Amino acid sequence: MIEEVLPNIYRIEVPLPGNPLKSVNSYLLVSPERNLVIDTAFNQPECLEVLKQAYDELKLDLDRTDFFATHLHADHQGLIATFAQPGAKTYMGKPDALRVEDQSGWKKMLNAAAMSGFSQEMLQTAIDNHPGHKHGPEHDMKWDHVVEGDTITVGDYTLTCLETPGHTWGHICLYEAGKKILFSGDHILGDITPNIQVWSLDDDPLQSYMTSLDKIASLEIALTLPGHRTMIPDCRKRVAELKEHHRNRCNEVIDILKNGSCHAVQTASQMTWDIRAASWDAFPLMQQWFATGEALAHLRFLENKGFVSQQPAADGVLLYALKADQEGMLTSMN
Ligand SMILES: [Zn+2]
């Protein structure tokens, strides 16, 4: 499906077969000089076909087209390697680009997952089934690293890079200050909540995410174009809702820990999720994986806020406990 959302800005909705996200939004900005594609989709035949057809229909000249990945996830950058022609710019936030280029993320992630309570067998299956592995780019590539304040001009639009870590380390939103448009990637979504997960035990991505939400809330934005689902008319209202969502999640975790200490998988198994399954054990493994990463993000945040302490159990799995003097609830995410 192709929609011209603003003059010379097209939204191409690309279905993601079998994925709970359903689809991803790929944006195309056209100009007589260079064009810019913001995000693509997974490197899988169904996605490739949809984008090829859309490019044909729009008569896109790939030799004059650059690519921007809002972040490293394969549902956003998986097909950039396929479409980018020699000489094209391929942009990604520096911290994400470095991780893609040296592949360092996977090992850290497996380490943290083992300490969260996943068995070795589950770890291997999870890695084999991870969409980042299955639908990643067809070949390694060199990215053009972008940082805060970098600008890209396409026709009448000048986009400024805003570092918005949280969903990933190097997530970038693109802001058109004159026209008050924000390409929000997976930082701000309207109908679903961006997944905030930690797979490196020295990170606190939820705190980074809260800071990045406040950064966006300070801007004048008339229209937000997200990485998934529909456009967001009132960005500031959505930011407030997302902060409230995570405050409730933190308090849910506090409530769970009141019954005794837990490792991350046990915490996730007691949280509420929008997945139709009879029990935690009936969750598909990948959903258990993402849910545990999310539980861990909230545990780490609460640890840094002084609510929770971490202690290693005998088998190397980390247990989280509510601190004795912290029976209260979290009232603010700042
Ligand atoms: Zn993402």
Closest to 37 (Cα-Cα) out of 6, 71, 2, 69: 69
> Which segment of 11-15, 53-57, 104-108, 238-242 scores lowest on mean pLDDT?
104-108
CA of 300 to the centre of ligand 1 (A): 20
My answer on whether 318 and 233 are in the same domain is no
Alpha carbon of 114 to ligand 1 centroid (Å):
23
d(CA 181, CA 82): 28
Contact 162, 142 (CB under 8 A): no
pLDDT tens per residue across span 76-90 = 999 999 999 999 999
Q: Which of 240, 259, 282 is the last residue of a domain?
A: 240
Q: Return the axis-axis angle of helices 105-115 and 285-304, rounded to nearest 10°.
A: 80
**86 C-alpha to center of ligand 1: Å?**
26
Question: Is residue 330 in some structural domain?
Answer: no
Token pair belonging to 82: 């396929």
Residues 183 and 215 in one domain: yes
Measure the CA–CA gap between 284 and 275, rounded to whole angstroms.
Answer: 10
Q: Could you tell me if residue 332 is inside a domain?
A: no
Distance 328 CA to ligand 1 centre (A): 33
Tell me what pLDDT residue 11 has: 98
Which two tokens mark 218? 């300070």
- Domain housing 271: 248-322
134 and 274 fall within a common domain: no
User: CA nearest 266: which of 92, 116, 124?
Assistant: 116
- 41 plus 123 within the same structural domain: yes
The confidence score (pLDDT) of residue 107 equals 78
If you measure from the C-alpha of residue 261 to the centroid of ligand 1, how many angstroms do you get, rounded to a whole number? Answer: 30
pLDDT for the residue numbered 263? 94
110 has pLDDT over 90: no
**What does pLDDT average to over the chain?**
93
Whether the predicted pLDDT of 327 surpasses 70: no
The residue ranges of DSSP E strands in 147-292, in sequence order, are: 151-154, 157-163, 172-176, 181-185, 223-226
Tell me the β-bridge partners of 152: 159
Q: Considering the domain boundaries, does residue 328 fall inside one? A: no
Average pLDDT over residues 17-34: 95
Asked whether residue 333 is domain-assigned, the answer is: no
Ligand 1 centre to CA of 73 (Å) is 5
Look at residue 275 and tell me if it is in a domain.
yes
Residue 197 Cα, ligand 1 centroid: separation in angstroms?
10
pLDDT tens digits for 200-237? 778 899 999 999 999 999 999 999 999 999 999 999 99
How many angstroms does the Cα of residue 2 sit away from the middle of ligand 1? Answer: 21
pLDDT tens digits, residue range 154-183?
Answer: 999 999 999 999 999 999 999 999 999 999
Q: Separation of 251 CA from ligand 1 center, angstroms?
A: 25
DSSP 191: S
Q: What is the domain-level CATH number for residue 195?
A: 3.60.15.10
Last residue within a domain, chosen from 224, 240, 256: 240
Same domain assignment for residues 85 and 175 = yes
The β-bridge partners of 322 are 308
The domain boundary, picked from 194, 219, 240, lies at 240
Cβ-contact 136, 43 below 8 angstroms: yes
Provide φ and ψ at 49, rounded to 5°.
Answer: -60, -45
Asked whether residue 329 carries a pLDDT value surpassing 70, the answer given is yes
Q: pTM, whole model, 2 decimals?
A: 0.94
Going from the Cα of 95 to the center of ligand 1, the distance in angstroms, rounded, reads 15
292 contact partners, CB below 8 Å, separation of at least 6: 113, 116, 117, 118, 264, 265, 267, 268
pLDDT interval class at 102 (50, 70, 90): confident
**Residue 2: beta bridge partners?**
12
- Who's near 299: CB < 8 A, 6+ residues apart? 253, 264, 267, 308, 310, 320
